[in-house]
């Protein structure tokens, strides 16, 4: 069953966007790794392959806002890099802080975005993709600290071809180019577990205005 689909996720906590935008095939691959308890090598995903470019038919994360709930910004301070050093150094750091918890100024500020929905487009077995995403606790950075928590709101058939909003090899004709979403040259991996290569990719942050928050 290979259909174009659109996955709408309802977001419960703010997303901290990583440098590289999360992509459906990469998230599904991580879910597959967790399912099989095997992080070595590549797994088969329930997505169609785009033969010409050797990429999965899966879009990057698209932020879905509604007229009554626009995107909103917040700054989250977390213990992300205080203990980034080797463990023996962390001992020294702790000594310096004393026994108290590090104060706000010592924490790492993250730019988080609250969005009511997140959207992925893809071609393949949408139902299997939706079930696999349930293996993940969240999207984006600090997902282990409950940022980017979601559940799958609905799965729809879709014919807009917006699954092409993803990195493509430079000069590939299948890329989705509109004036609203110009492409940026970058180095990224085209498939999970592969080395970065030169790609054309859409902007890091794409917003889609949805009609009403159902």
Partner 1 sequence: MPVDNAYQRFHQATAIIRQDAPADRWGTPPPSSHGCSICGRPWDDVEDPGVAGAYQYSSSFSREYECTSCHTVRIPARESLGIEMYRGKAQAPSPGRLGMLPSCGAVITPDNQLHMAVNKGFFTKYQGGAIDRAGQLHQERPFTLLMQLIAEQSLSSVSEGAIFISEWGRKPDRLLGNLQLTRSLSELWCCSDAGAECIDLTALIETAKWLHGRELGTKATRPAFWAPIRQAAQGRAISQEAMKKWAKDIPQPQELLDTLPIDPHTRTRLPRFMADIMPWVEGGYL
Stretch that binds partner 1, among 22-30, 103-111, 117-125, 149-157 (CB under 8 A): 103-111
Residues binding partner 1: number (CB under 8 A)? 33
Return the residue of 12, 94, 146, 187 that touches partner 1, per CB under 8 A.
187
Residues 109-168 that bind partner 1 (CB under 8 A): 109-111, 113-114
Contact indicator for 94, 82 with CB cutoff of 8 Å: no
Return the residue of 36, 38, 54, 74 that touches partner 1, per CB under 8 A.
74
Return the residue of 54, 108, 127, 151 that touches partner 1, per CB under 8 A.
108
Contact indicator for 161, 155 with CB cutoff of 8 Å: no
Contact indicator for 128, 46 with CB cutoff of 8 Å: yes
The yes or no reply on residue 184 touching partner 1 (CB under 8 A) is: yes
Stretch that binds partner 1, among 25-33, 53-61, 65-73, 156-164 (CB under 8 A): 65-73
> Residue 154 corresponds to which tokens in the numbers above?
């609905």
Return the residue of 66, 78, 203, 210 that touches partner 1, per CB under 8 A.
203
Q: Taking the alpha carbons of 170, 60, 34, 155 in that order, is the dihedral positive or negative?
A: negative
Minimum gap (Å) between residue 51 Cβ and partner 1: 28
Q: How far apart are CA 163 and CA 176, in angstroms?
A: 9
The yes or no reply on residue 81 touching partner 1 (CB under 8 A) is: yes
Using a CB cutoff of 8 Å and minimum separation of 24, what contacts does 140-147 make?
140/15, 140/16, 140/17, 140/18, 140/22, 141/16, 141/17, 141/18, 141/110, 142/16, 142/76, 142/78, 142/80, 142/110, 145/78, 146/13, 147/13, 147/14, 147/15, 147/16, 147/76, 147/110, 147/112
Stretch that binds partner 1, among 28-36, 73-81, 141-149, 153-161 (CB under 8 A): 73-81
Stretch that binds partner 1, among 40-48, 64-72, 142-150, 154-162 (CB under 8 A): 64-72
Contact residues: partner 1, CB under 8 A:
19, 63, 70-74, 81, 84-86, 88-89, 92, 95-96, 108-111, 113-114, 182, 184-187, 196, 203-207
């Amino acid at each position: 069953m290979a259909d174009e689909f659109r996955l709408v996720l309802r977001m419960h906590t703010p997303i901290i966007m990583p440098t590289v935008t999360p992509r459906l095939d990469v998230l599904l691959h991580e879910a597959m790794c967790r399912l099989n308890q095997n992080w070595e090598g590549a797994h088969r995903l329930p997505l169609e392959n785009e033969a010409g470019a050797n990429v999965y038919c899966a879009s990057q994360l698209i932020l879905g806002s509604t007229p009554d709930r626009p995107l909103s910004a917040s700054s989250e301070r977390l213990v992300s890099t205080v203990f980034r050093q080797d463990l023996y150094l962390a001992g020294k750091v702790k000594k310096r802080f004393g026994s108290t918890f590090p104060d706000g100024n010592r924490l790492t500020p993250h730019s988080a975005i609250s969005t009511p929905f997140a959207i992925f487009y893809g071609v393949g077995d949408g139902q299997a993709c939706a079930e696999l995403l349930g293996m993940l606790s969240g999207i984006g950075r600090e997902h282990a600290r409950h940022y980017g928590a979601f559940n799958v709101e609905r799965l729809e058939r879709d014919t807009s071809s917006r699954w092409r909003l993803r990195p493509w090899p430079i000069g590939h004709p299948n890329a989705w180019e509109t004036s609203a979403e110009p492409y940026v040259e970058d180095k990224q991996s085209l498939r999970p577990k592969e080395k970065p290569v030169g790609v054309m990719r859409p902007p890091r942050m794409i917003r889609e205005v949805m009609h009403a928050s159902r």
